[in-house]
Each structure stands twice: as structure tokens, then as C-alpha cells.
Amino acid sequence: AKTVSILGIPFENTSRDAFESLLKNRIEHHENTFVVTANPEIVMYARQNRPYMKLIKQADFIVADGIGIIMGAKLLKRPLQERITGYDLFVSLLEWGSQTHKSAYFVGAKTEVINQLKTVVAQKYPGLKIAGTHNGYFGDDRNIVHDIARTHPDMVFVATGYPKQETFIDKNRQATNGLWMGIGGSFDVLTG
Ligand code: UDP
């Protein structure tokens, strides 16, 4: 099977390389794509929260972002090929996006972090167009969604932590036909 079910969650059973190629291909073809990078905290939370479980199952792909999930899969005799972290995907896609002149929108983290992120991305990934940014501390998301629809980026990175990031993506992913991915604390890591 292409997916392996662990604790009721269908994980992609693929290599990081193959998964990255698949995402790049979908971005090139403007396919609307929602990726959940599920760590053990997300898995446990989903098991206790049915609406969240239902919501993440709406994603196109769920990948195993955590060695605990890889180990659990092995113990259950349903091994997964490789751990695929949100942060690794994020950095690879920024690099590729810079080389191929894609655009990205960044939602999440504190204002000072998102401001620093703009500087870091401009320096390290000069070919990537920053379609827009917004900090992750918002109530009403309408302005952000309008801005995403207006700028129609190739990739939308949402780093507000779970469950907020997946809830935001599930609700708003029709705003642009690109990649939507929740990546936890990745903006803090990249600017750290
Ligand atoms: N964050 C945010 N909005 C919120 C709560 C958190 O943007 O309402 C940000 C926070 O600043 C940090 C990230 O989300 O950058 C959370 O990182 P963490 O590693 O805790 O994410 P998790 O692994 O819990 O999903």
C-alpha cells in the first residue's frame, strides 16, 4: 500500500526524496495540496479529538515527522520508509523555490520572528518571491486569506503550531491552488 495506518492515521510510506519530487510536481501543475507533517503530539491529539482527526484526514498527504512514529510503525510490523520532517521539507522547498523562481506566503510565529524570516529568506533564497507574511497571532483570518487569494503564491507555509495551522489550512486552502503545509516552530528554527 502507498499509505501505512498507524493508530488510525494513514501515513505516506515513501522516501523524502520521492515525496519532495511529488510535491514539486504538484506545485508546478498548480494542484491544491494539503500536507500534514504529523509528529507524535499531533497523533496523540488527533486520537483524543475527533474533529481534528477528521480534519487531518482531509489532507492529501500525512507524513511521519518524528522518530517515535517510525519506531512505532516498525514495532507494529508496518514499517515506514523514512522520517519526513516539516522542517526538512520547508528548507528543501525554499531552496528549490529560489532556483525555480516560485513564490511563497508565510503565516505564523511572532512579529519579530516573521520580520527576521523575511531577511533570512531574502538572503539565503534570493530567487524566491515572498508573496506576503503575517504573524501567527490572529483571531479573524479574513485579511490573511484575502491577501493569499490576491497574491496566489505557489506555496503557503503555516507555522502556528497544531491544531491552529491544520484548522487554518483546511478552512482556507481554496484561496490558492498551491502547496499548503503546517510546519510548527519552523520559522523560529530557520531564524534561530
Ligand atoms: N504560534 C503562533 N500562533 C499561536 C501559537 C503559536 O504563530 O497562536 C507559533 C509560535 O510562535 C511558534 C509556533 O507557532 O513559532 C509553535 O511552535 P511549536 O514547535 O510549539 O509547534 P508544534 O510542534 O507544537 O506544532
Query: What does the alpha-carbon distance between residue 98 and residue 92 come to, in Å, rounded to a whole number?
Result: 10
Q: What is the dihedral of CA 50, 14, 86, 36, to 10 degrees?
A: -20
Half-sphere exposure of 150 (CA within 13 A, CB side): 9
Task: List pLDDT tens digits, range 9-40.
Answer: 999 999 999 999 999 999 999 999 999 999 99
* Phi, psi angles (nearest 5°) of residue 78: -130, 65
For the chain, counts of helices (H) and of strands (E): 9, 8
Write down the pLDDT at residue 65: 97
CATH T-level topology, domain 3-191: Rossmann fold (3.40.50)
Residue 178's pLDDT is what? Answer: 98
What pLDDT was estimated at residue 1?
56
CA 158 – ligand 1 centroid, Å: 10
Angle in degrees, CA 87, 89, 91, rounded to 5? 70
pTM: 0.97
pLDDT digits (tens, 9 = 90+) for 46-76: 999 999 999 999 999 999 999 999 999 999 9
Give the nearest ligand 1 atom to 39 CA. 23
Residue 82: how many CB atoms within 10 A of its CB? 16
- pLDDT tens column, 119-177: 999 999 999 999 999 999 999 999 999 999 999 999 999 999 999 999 999 999 999 99
The runs of H, that is alpha helices, within the chain are 16-28, 40-48, 50-56, 67-75, 86-99, 111-124, 142-151, 164-172, 186-191
**Ligand 1 mean position, distance from CA 132 (Å):** 19
User: Mean of the per-residue pLDDT values for the chain?
Assistant: 97
Instruction: Identify the H or E element spanning 179.
Output: strand 179-182
For ligand 1, what atom is nearest to the CA of residue 135? Answer: 7
Q: What is the ipTM of this complex?
A: 0.94
Instruction: Supply the residue whose CA is at minimum distance from atom 10 of ligand 1.
Output: 109
Q: How confident is the model at residue 84 (pLDDT cuts 50, 70, 90)?
A: very high
Residue 16 and residue 22 in contact, taking contact as beta carbons nearer than 8 Å:
no
Q: Give me the pLDDT at residue 68, please.
A: 93
Pairing of strands 9-12, 3-6: antiparallel
Q: Domain ranges in the chain?
A: 3-191
Which protein residues are within 6 Å of ligand 1, measured from CB? 108-110, 136-137, 159-162, 164, 184-185, 187-188
How many whole angstroms from 159 Cα to the centroid of ligand 1? 6
Show contacts of 55-58: CB within 8 Å, 24+ apart. 55/163, 55/166, 55/167, 55/170, 56/9, 56/166, 57/9, 57/10, 58/34, 58/170
